Amino acid sequence: MRIAVCVKAVPSAGSGARLDSASKRLDRSGDLGLSEYDTHAVEEALRLRGDDGEVVVVSLGPERAADALRKALAMGADRSVLVSDAGFEGADLVLTARALVGALERESPELVLFGQQSPDGNGACLWAAVAEKLRRPVVSQAAELAVEGGALRAKRQTEFGYETLRAPLPAVVAVSEAINEPRYPSLKGIMGAKSKPQEVLAAGDVGGAGDPVTTVLALTPPPARGESRRIEDDGNAAEAIVEFLAEKRLL
Amino acid sequence: MIRPADYPPPAVDAVVAPSDPEPVEVDVAIVGAGPAGLAAAIRLGQVAPDVSVAVLEKGATPGAHLLSGAVVRPGPLRELVGEFPSYGEVQGEAVYLLTARRALRVPTPPTMRNEGNVVVSLAQLGRFLAEKAEAGGAMVLPETAAVSLLIEDGRVVGVRTGDKGRARDRAPGPRFEPGSDVRACVTILADGTAGHLSGAAIAHLGLGGLNPQVWALGVKEVWRVAQPLRRVVHTLGWPLRAGARWREFGGSFVYPLGDDMVSLGMVVGLDYADESLSVHDLLQQLKTHPFVRGLLAGGERVQWGAKTIPEGGFLSLPRACSAPGVLLCGDGAGFVNVPALKGVHLAVETGRLAAEAAASGDIASFDEALRSSFVWDELRAVRNMRQAFGRGFWAGGALASVMTLTGGRFPGGDRRAERDAEQPVVGGAPRAYPSADGSLTFDKLSSVFAAGNRTRDDQPDHIRVARRVPRELAEMWTAMCPAQVYEVGAEGDDGHVELHVIPSNCVQCGAITAKGGRLTPPEGGAGPEYTIT
Ligand SMILES: Cc1cc2nc3c(=O)[nH]c(=O)nc-3n(C[C@H](O)[C@H](O)[C@@H](O)COP(=O)(O)OP(=O)(O)OC[C@H]3O[C@@H](n4cnc5c(N)ncnc54)[C@H](O)[C@@H]3O)c2cc1C
Ligand SMILES: Cc1cc2nc3c(=O)[nH]c(=O)nc-3n(C[C@H](O)[C@H](O)[C@H](O)COP(=O)(O)OP(=O)(O)OC[C@H]3O[C@@H](n4cnc5c(N)ncnc54)[C@H](O)[C@@H]3O)c2cc1C
Ligand code: SF4
C-alpha cells in the first residue's frame, strides 16, 4: 500500500520561538524539528506499510525543513517530498491545503495520514481541508487503525467515548497520540536517511501558490495569570488547598 | 572533615569488547560534534575525501549541547573554513571589581585583552560547522550517545552507542532500540568537558598527566536587551567571598551578541568549599547588582544553560593524546587556555591536527604535531604563571591588577593539584540568595525549562553518585547542581541522609563528575536544546 504522511517541521523546544509582532507570523528562524504529533502518523504508516508498500512523507515548509523530514526517513519512511517556495510563505489553512493537495495528487496514495494537530499553529484542521479538496472521506482522532479489503476501520477517540468507523480507501486519517509509541530511529536508520530520495517541489509543481485568503489583523498575548498563591507542603497542604478553594467559593 | 572523594560513586565501566554481529563500520569515528570534533570532520573531508567519517553527537541536533562565552580567537577557524557566523569583532572591553553596591573599573590585564577576537554563539557555530562537515562528506549523527569504548587486544576499535527506549529500571520498553557497535580504524574522542569516553580512555589506557584535571562551572543566560552593549565586560569580586578558606575563584562575563542581545555568565572553580554555593544562584544574585542590572534594563531572558570548563591547563594534559586506535582532542583532553578563558580555538586546532594524523595513517604523529603547534607554546607559556593563574581566569588574569585594590586579600598561590572532589566541604555559613521574581531572577526549574531540556522522565538514571552520604555533602550537591537534580532525603540511623536524584532535569554540565560523582551520557537526544548559547 502506498501511504503518504503529511508532516510539519515546527520550531523545536529550545528555540524559544515567538510570534513576531511585525509580520504577525511565528518566527521560524530557529531550529525546526519534526512535530511530535506527526511522529505518531509516521509510526502508524510504517506499521501499515506491508512488504511491498511505500511510505512517503509530504510537507510544506522552508528549505530548512528538510532536516526534520530526515527524522521521518531515519524512522523508516522511504522518501520525502518537500514543497518549498517563497510563494507559500505565511500560507494560511487554505493555501497550505492547496500545496499539500498538489503534492498528494502527484503521489495518488491509498491512505493519507496526518497528526492530529501541530504544536505551533494548533489548528487541528488541515486534514479536513485536505480531505475536502481531495474529495475523500476523513477520520480524525484515530486511536486505532486497520486496513482490510480496500477499506479502513478506525476507532475514534471522542470526549464521550470511542466510536468505530469504516471508510473506503482512498481516505484521509488524522491519528491521535494514543495510537502508538513512535519508534526511535536506529543508528543505521539515521545513517541511511541521508541517501533516501528527498524531492523538493516548487509552487509550479503543485499547481501554483496564490494569496492567503485570511489576514491576521492583530495579535494579543494571553492575559497575565491572575494572582496565585503557592502552597508548600509542610504536611498540611491538603487542608490549605481545601481552605483556599472554599475561600474562593469554588467548593 | 567531609570530602566528596570519600563517597565515591558506584563503578562505571565505560570499556567493553566488541559484541555486535553487525557493527556499523567507518574509517574514522568522531565522538562529539563540538568545535573539536567538527573541525576534525571538516579537515578529514579536505585532506582525505575518500575516508568515511561518522560524527556521533548525543544532542538532539549538532549545537544543542554546545555552550560557551564566547569570545573566540578566530585564526584557526578562519584557516579551516574561511568566514563563519559571528557577532563581529570585540569593540571594547572593561574589567570591574564588584562590591555589593559598587563597580570599580580596574585595568585590563594582558591575558584578558581581546583585540581582534570575535564574539560567537557556540550553539550557532556548531550548527554551521556541522553543515560544513556534511558538505565535505562526513555523516553527522545526532541523538546518538557513545557510551563505551570498544577495546580489542589493547587497541581502541570504535565505540558502542547507547540503547534507547529502556525503562527506569533499565528493562527494555515497548520501543526498545538497542545501540550498535561502531567500528573504526581510528576513533577521535572530542567529547568535551568531563567527557565520559575521554575520561575512560585516560583511565583505562593510562594516559593521565602530571596533575589530575580540575574544573570550573559556568552558568549563563542570554538576554534580549533594550540598550546595545558595545564592549566585552568581565567582573570579579562580589558575590564571591574573598576569604582564603572559601576558595571561591571566579567571576562573570557579559558579552554582546549584536545590538539586541547579551550573553551573561558566572563561572566558579569547583574546588570551592561552601556547602551552600550555587553558581546558578550566584548568577541570579549578580544580576541584582546595580551595575549588571543596568546592562539588562528593559530586557528579557531568552535562554539559560550550564557547563563546566576544564581548568587544569598544561600540567593536567594527558601524558599522550594518542594511543593505539584513538586520539584525544579539545576539552576532553583539557586544551583550555585558562588565563585567557579560551578553548574554542584550541579545540579547533587540536581537532584539525587529529584529523591530519588520522589521515596520515600514523596516528602517533599527533603528539609530535601537538608539540610543534602553537597550542603547545600557548599553553606552556601560561604554565609557568600557574602559581598566579592556577585559580583560573579571574583570580589569575585579574590578580595582578586587583591585588593592590583588595589589599592582597585575593588569595593567589597554591596550585590545584588536588582533585576538586578532594576539597573538604565547609558548612555553617549559608548564603542568602535573592528569591526568584520571574523577570530578573529565576529559580532552577524554570531555568531548566529555558534550556529547552526534554529528557524523558522514565529513562534509566544516568547519574552515578553515592546515595547515602553525610548531610553536608548531600546539601553541597543539591546547591551545586544548576538543574535541581538532587534533593536531600530522610536521615537514617547511621546519621547519613538519602540523596534523591531526578535525572530528567540534568543539563549534562559535568559538575558532578568534578565533585565526586560521574555524569554518564543519557539516552541520545535527551538533555538541553541550546540554540543561542
Ligand atoms: C498565530 C497564528 C494564527 C493563524 N491564524 C490563521 C487563521 O485564522 N486562518 C488560517 O487559515 N490560518 C491561520 N494560521 C495559519 C495556519 O495555522 C496554518 O497555515 C495552516 O497550515 C494550519 O496549520 P496548523 O499548524 O494549524 O496545522 P494543524 O491543522 O494543527 O495540523 C494538523 C496536521 O496537519 C499536518 N500539517 C500541518 N502543517 C503542515 C505542513 N506545513 N506540511 C505538511 N503537513 C502539515 C500535520 O500532519 C499536522 O499534524 C495561523 C497561524 C498562526 C501561527
Ligand atoms: C561558560 C563558558 C564560557 C566559555 N567561554 C569561552 C570563550 O569566551 N572563548 C573560548 O574560546 N572558549 C570559551 N569556553 C571554552 C570553550 O567553550 C570550550 O573550550 C570548547 O567548547 C571545547 O570544544 P570541544 O569541541 O572540545 O567540546 P564541547 O564544545 O564541549 O563539545 C563536545 C560535544 O561532544 C558531545 N558529546 C559529549 N559526550 C558525548 C558522547 N558520549 N556521545 C556523543 N556525543 C558526546 C557534546 O554533546 C558536545 O556537543 C567557555 C566555556 C564555558 C563552559
Ligand atoms: S546532575 Fe547534571 S546538571 Fe546537575 S550537576 Fe550533575 S551534570 Fe550538572
* Cβ < 6 A, ligand 3 pocket: B 463, 481-483, 485, 506-512, 519
Residue A219 domain flag:
no
| pLDDT surpassing 90 at residue B416 | no
**Which tops the pLDDT comparison, B331 or A228?**
B331
**Which tops the pLDDT comparison, B386 or A104?**
A104
Over the stretch A142-169, which tens digit does the pLDDT of each residue have?
999 999 989 999 999 898 999 999 999 9
* Cell numbers at B360, concatenated: 596520515
User: Contact, A88 vs A63, CB < 8 A?
Assistant: no
Rounded percentage of chain B residues whose pLDDT exceeds 90 = 84
For residue B479, what pLDDT is reported?
A: 98
- Predicted confidence band of residue B415 (pLDDT cuts 50, 70, 90): low
Distance B303 CA to ligand 1 centre (A): 27
Residue A235 domain flag:
no
Residues with Cβ within 8 Å of B17's Cβ and at least 6 positions away in sequence, in order, are: B150, B151, B152
In short, whether B34's Cβ falls inside 6 Å of ligand 2 is yes
Atom 1, ligand 3: which residue's CA is nearest?
Answer: B506
Q: Could you tell me the CA-to-CA distances from A121 to A10, A25, B499 in Å, in that order?
A: 9, 10, 42
Q: Which residues of A110-147 are buried (b: 16+ CB within 10 A; e: fewer)?
A: bbbbbbbbbbbbeebebbbbbbebbebbbbbbbbbbeb
Distance CA A3, CA A58 (A): 10
User: Contact, A176 vs A141, CB < 8 A?
Assistant: yes
% helix, strand, coil for chain B, step of 5: 30, 25, 45
Residue A59 domain flag:
yes
Ligand 2 atom closest to B59 (CA): 47
Range(s) of the domain holding residue A132:
2-206
Distance CA A106, CA A113 (A): 16
Distance B214 CA to ligand 2 centre (A): 15
Residue A119 domain flag:
yes
Provide the CATH number for the domain around residue A19: 3.40.50.620
Q: Which residues of A touch B174 (CB under 8 A)?
A: 181
Residue A90 domain flag:
yes
- The C-alpha angle with vertex A155 and arms to A154 and A156, in degrees rounded to 5, equals 105
Q: Which of residues 426-465 of B touch A (CB under 8 A)?
A: 450-454
Q: Which residues pair with B111 in a beta bridge?
A: none
Provide the residue count of chain B: 533
For residue B424, what pLDDT is reported?
A: 93
Does the structure's ipTM exceed the value 0.85?
no
Residue A76 domain flag:
yes
3-state secondary structure of A111: strand
Over the stretch B45-101, which tens digit does the pLDDT of each residue have?
999 999 999 999 999 999 999 999 999 999 999 999 999 999 999 999 999 999 999
Residue with grid cell 503518504, as numbered in its chain:
A4
Q: Determine, for residues B529 and A15 on separate chains, whether the beta-carbon distance falls below 8 Å.
A: yes
* Cell numbers at B238, concatenated: 562580589
Q: Which residues of A touch B64 (CB under 8 A)?
A: 14, 31
Number of folded domains that form chain A:
1
Residue A153 domain flag:
yes
For the entire predicted model, the pTM comes to 0.91
Distance CA B513, CA A247 (A): 49
- The C-alpha angle with vertex A23 and arms to A21 and A25, in degrees rounded to 5, equals 80
User: Contact, B246 vs B295, CB < 8 A?
Assistant: no
Strands B215-224 and B261-269: antiparallel
